[in-house]
Structure 1
Amino acid sequence: MRRSRTYDWADPAVCAEAVPHHSGLGFIRKMLDGELPAPPVAATLGITLEEAEYGRAVFALVPGEEHYNPIGSVHGGVYATLLDSAAGCAVQTVLPQGMGYTSLDLTLKFLRPITVDTGKVRAIGTVLNSGRRTALAQAELRDSEDRLLAHATSSCMLFPVPAR
């Protein structure tokens, strides 16, 4: 039986244009409060930003069949997207106004499978170190019983973002 899913998203330029005008934490909090739209990837995968504070960001997902790989569990790319988002946005929260970041690498360890029966999962990102040019963050993917499902570390390059 065929299944389908419909979703919509906001213009991503709205967020991109706002980045240089806010501190990193201010920017992330505006997304959390709904003043800025979530990025299109969040709508595509069903990811939600749940928490943000200095040095920490939390994303959540309720896994569905649309996240499955051919063997009947959530695709590793979905894990990676959640963990990369949490680690990267944690880095964003420590940046001053006018600075941005991009991931240089993402090292990921898968520990448990995720299926629709797993229920809601949360990716908790924290900054381990932030310098002038790079930052190091980690993220843990946990289920509702606080079991560790996957772990990632990410190095990020920091750079100035000019106002548009």
Structure 2
Amino acid sequence: MEPENKGIDRKLFDYLYQSIETTPYYNLLGIHLNSVSKGEVVMSAMPEAKHANPMGFIHGGLVMSLLDAVMGNAVRSLGIKSVTVDISISFPKGGEFDKTLHAEGKVVHAGKQVIFAEGKVYSGKNIIGYGKGTFYKIGEIEL
């Protein structure tokens, strides 16, 4: 399924889409872009057996990676290059292997150098991960 551009510059959208779809780590985890709007991104991943922890549940690392991806790309949707400084995550419930994980990230404040974002990961209607992230601006995306 093609991702949806919900109102950002077409060149920036194409740049984000291409960079996300060709990121080796995202490919390893099966993370894909669903939609982008200014300061907000939706991504998804279908958990597989290889994403299980030793107890047979979806590994928190997959959920954490999805949160970092949606929050970081929400920052990039503003045309900002950044690096993750800090992420705080809670796992209120476990996910199910037969349901696609949907993640939503949004920028809550963009300062001159520091950007704050938050994200949620859903398995069906259940929130299985909630996170807050701090990102440091290293430049502007040049198109």
The 8 Å contact of residues 134 and 158 in structure 1, kept in 2 or not, is answered as: yes
Q: Does 1:93 align with 2:93?
A: no
The 8 Å contact of residues 109 and 152 in structure 1, kept in 2 or not, is answered as: yes
Match of 2:123?
A: 143
For 2:111 and 2:10, the matched residues in 1 are separated by 16
Name the TM-score, length of structure 1 as normaliser: 0.74
The unaligned stretches of length 5 or more in structure 1 are 1-22
One-letter amino acid matched to 2:110? S
Cα–Cα, structure 1 residues 127 and 68, in superposed 2: closer, same or farther, change >3 Å? same
Q: Aligned match of 1:55 in 39, 48, 57?
A: 39
For residues 22-48 of structure 1, the C-alpha deviation after alignment (integer angstroms, 9 at most, x for no partner) is x9984444343x587420111101111
One-letter amino acid matched to 1:75? H
The 8 Å contact of residues 102 and 156 in structure 1, kept in 2 or not, is answered as: yes
- Aligned to 2:89, the other structure's residue is in SS state strand
One-letter amino acid matched to 1:134? V
- Aligned to 2:74, the other structure's residue is in SS state helix
For 2:114 and 2:10, the matched residues in 1 are separated by 17
RMSD: 2.4
The unaligned stretches of length 5 or more in structure 2 are 1-7
Name the TM-score, length of structure 2 as normaliser: 0.84
Deviation of residue 142 (structure 1)?
1.1
Rg larger in 1 or in 2?
1
For 1:103 and 1:35, the matched residues in 2 are separated by 17
The 8 Å contact of residues 57 and 126 in structure 1, kept in 2 or not, is answered as: yes
Match of 1:112?
A: 93
For 1:66 and 1:74, the matched residues in 2 are separated by 9
Match of 1:44?
A: 28
Runs of at least 4 residues of structure 1 off by over 6 A?
Answer: none
Aligned residues between the structures: 135
The 8 Å contact of residues 100 and 158 in structure 1, kept in 2 or not, is answered as: yes
Q: Aligned match of 2:68 in 79, 84, 96?
A: 84
For 2:20 and 2:30, the matched residues in 1 are separated by 17
